[in-house]
Amino acid sequence: MSRFRVAVHIVPRKGILDPQGKAVSDALHALGFDGVSDTRIGRHIVLHIAAPDAKAADAQVREMCGKLLANPVTEDFEIATVERA
């Protein structure tokens, strides 16, 4: 078993109204960042886990996202990094 540090991004699914993201987009426009077309605000979760290899660590975290970390009704997740810790 090795230790891994896995980072996950969880964001509101496309098409789901994200009022926080919209408010931030509006604020960025007010600052002159006209190029911003969309902002999605979600969560960044960092897990330290034991797994035989990186692939197994990735698979474990995917299962965690499916069961708890993300809500499959409204959120998408993306495993950002899997690093040996």
CB atoms within 10 A of CB 18: 20
For residue 30, the minimal CB distance to another protein (Å) is: 17
Q: Which is nearer to another protein, 71 or 81 (CB)?
A: 71
For residue 78, the minimal CB distance to another protein (Å) is: 17
Q: Which is nearer to another protein, 26 or 78 (CB)?
A: 26
For residue 80, the minimal CB distance to another protein (Å) is: 18
Instruction: Work out whether strand 43-51 and strand 75-84 pair parallel, antiparallel, or are unpaired.
Output: unpaired
Q: Tokens representing 8?
A: 């996950």
Q: Alpha carbon 14 to chain centroid distance?
A: 13
Q: Tokens representing 48?
A: 């330290």
User: Which residues are at the interface with another protein (CB under 8 A)?
Assistant: 12, 16-17, 19-20, 23, 43, 68-69, 71, 73-74
